Structure 1
């Protein structure tokens, strides 16, 4: 079959790879009908996440049709149209039973890599390096889905594959940030990043009752989507000083909840951005935490910061003093999709969570390298590129 593969730092290829097959009783084979670029893929492509091997198939956000199931699959059937969560959960370990699926003890066959970096391994994830299990990703014609009864969900008839594909990752990730960030009715919420995840975090915050949601970015097409489709306020960090603007809009107090939806390659016009760039190039730190620093400093005393963006290693100049002295709560995590996706699909089908506007480019697998170049550079106003195998 055809697939988009990682060939080295900043090099992608489109090549023929082996078709997937049933390996375990709980597996399903899904024919991919829509798979989408994600900002966290850029960390892989740029070489910021360890454990990538030449020929690894990329992609972790996808929808498709089940074409084969293993003998242990009881809840899913051949012919079903499904969306599949990006992080795998076995459904049986302590973490899965407490709905912390991305921390699953049994879905990552390479736990030693995560234990060496972080003290413990995460669950497995499609197309996200050997550190999360080395699973083949979704930018292909077919994909093997382990634990299919736990991680694959039927798509309501009201939703197209193109709309439903974001229920795989962007929608539940954004919802998790708002939910576990503790957004309450009447809160003021600030979201750093107006990509797919940031927009979904903003929409989730509004649906959870936030009185005001303010999204921070610099790209006009994304900020326009936030205002016109999501219904939130915006700040262009290229034209104003974010901390001062947030204080002004919140009567000097700051947001109740701040959600960072940018990750390890944050951009800024502030001096600490140049500092981070130099440190990363010299391999003295791995990630650029500009948006996290800003969120910590902006959040009101006693407030909460939720880190949704992907980080892989170590950072410098983290304002721990602000966290302690302002009595902030810091939370984060990879998406626990199984916990949220059924509810979110119902909300999407009811029209409460719009997603199709995120698709700005529709491409074939053959156009994979071009799609990621547009996505990385934000060329042609690219917000998300969807590949249709």
Structure 2
């Protein structure tokens, strides 16, 4: 099969022919129909902290068709269209049975979506309803990440919500916050490219004011935020969020940052601010994200700005290293 393969850190991907995956006992092979390019994929090719290197096939936001079943696989059939939960787990332990798959002892991250076929496990496959497309299946993961962040934040109906960063996760948080009754939702970014998309997905306002980020957000919200979602992952934003959140408010970290960061803990302590981190999601949240699309929510589909063939992946991947008007680019290996 053909795949877009890492050549090493700080090097472009390359299209290579690699062996077709063969399912072992308890495994399935999925023909990839759509796979999203995630910001964390870009980080994986630049930062050794992620542990990825030459020969790796990235891609954890994917959906496709089941085309091969290993021995002992139950509950799936040939031809089933599925969205793949990219959290590898055993499917049997108490954590898995409760939906908290990230705490399974066999936990790992599922990649392989930048290819024609990918190997996975049946407990990671969620069947797509007839109302959902393969493209829908490929955006469930970022929607679930955002939904988990919202749940971890403890946001209440009527809260003022500030979202730092207008990438796919920040925009998905805007969708969920508005859907769950936030009184005011404001997205703040350094550029206006995603303004219209943010407003269409649920934000009441979009703020770009590098000279006065704190004052401009406060004016747009009508006061300090009850909850600030940091969805970028760059040093300095926690400190900014401390200034932007109300006394006894919450800062929820969703942005992935592997660099050291500093902030004034006294300022945070003086306001009794809650600093909460959020990673991954539960099986129930993954299914709830799919249910939202199945029930007619059209806003999340606005995340997708382009669909490309597998051959175009290395070049497009390089362009995405720089901030562009693109939001979520999907790869179609069948094109």
Using the TM superposition, give the Cα deviation of residue 353 of structure 1 relative to its aligned residue in structure 2, in angstroms: 5.0
Q: What secondary structure is seen at the aligned counterpart in 1 of 2:105? A: coil
TM-score by length of 1: 0.80
Distance of 1:243 and 1:97 partners within structure 2: 43
Q: Is contact 1:86-1:337 (8 Å) kept?
A: no
Q: Which residue of 1 aligns with 2:100?
A: 100
Q: What secondary structure is seen at the aligned counterpart in 1 of 2:193? A: helix
Q: Which residue of 1 aligns with 2:24?
A: 23
1:290 and 2:236 are equivalent in the alignment: yes
Q: Which residue of 2 aligns with 1:139?
A: 114
TM-score by length of 2: 0.92
Q: Which residue of 1 aligns with 2:246?
A: 300
What RMSD, in angstroms, separates the aligned Cα atoms of the two structures? Answer: 1.9
1:36 and 2:42 are equivalent in the alignment: no
Q: What secondary structure is seen at the aligned counterpart in 1 of 2:225? A: coil
Q: Is contact 2:171-2:201 (8 Å) kept?
A: no
Q: Is contact 1:30-1:142 (8 Å) kept?
A: yes
Distance of 1:249 and 1:359 partners within structure 2: 27
The CA deviation string for residues 308-332 of structure 1, in whole angstroms up to 9 with x for no partner, is 11233x5132332233222122222
Q: Which residue of 2 aligns with 1:255?
A: 225
Q: Which residue of 1 aligns with 2:332?
A: 388
Q: Which residue of 1 aligns with 2:214?
A: 243
Q: 5+ unaligned residues in a row in structure 2: which ranges?
A: none
Counting matched residue pairs gives 332
Structure having the higher strand fraction is: 2
Q: What secondary structure is seen at the aligned counterpart in 1 of 2:299? A: coil
Q: What secondary structure is seen at the aligned counterpart in 2 of 1:258? A: strand
User: Compared with structure 1, are the counterparts of its residues 87 and 257 closer, same or farther at alpha carbon in structure 2 (3 Å cutoff)?
Assistant: same
Distance of 2:73 and 2:296 partners within structure 1: 31
Correspondence 1:36-55 to 2 at 5 A? 36-55=36-55
User: Compared with structure 1, are the counterparts of its residues 306 and 93 closer, same or farther at alpha carbon in structure 2 (3 Å cutoff)?
Assistant: farther
Q: What secondary structure is seen at the aligned counterpart in 2 of 1:49? A: helix
Q: Which residue of 2 aligns with 1:212?
A: 184
Q: Is contact 1:190-1:257 (8 Å) kept?
A: yes
Distance of 2:24 and 2:239 partners within structure 1: 44
Distance of 1:65 and 1:86 partners within structure 2: 16
Q: Is contact 2:5-2:16 (8 Å) kept?
A: yes
Q: 5+ unaligned residues in a row in structure 1: which ranges?
A: 107-122, 128-136, 267-288
Q: Is contact 2:207-2:220 (8 Å) kept?
A: no
Q: Which residue of 2 aligns with 1:86?
A: 86
Using the TM superposition, give the Cα deviation of residue 73 of structure 1 relative to its aligned residue in structure 2, in angstroms: 2.6
Using the TM superposition, give the Cα deviation of residue 204 of structure 1 relative to its aligned residue in structure 2, in angstroms: 0.5
Q: Which residue of 2 aligns with 1:339?
A: 284
Of 228, 232, 240, the residue aligned with 2:204 is 232
Q: Is contact 1:202-1:232 (8 Å) kept?
A: no
Distance of 1:251 and 1:224 partners within structure 2: 21
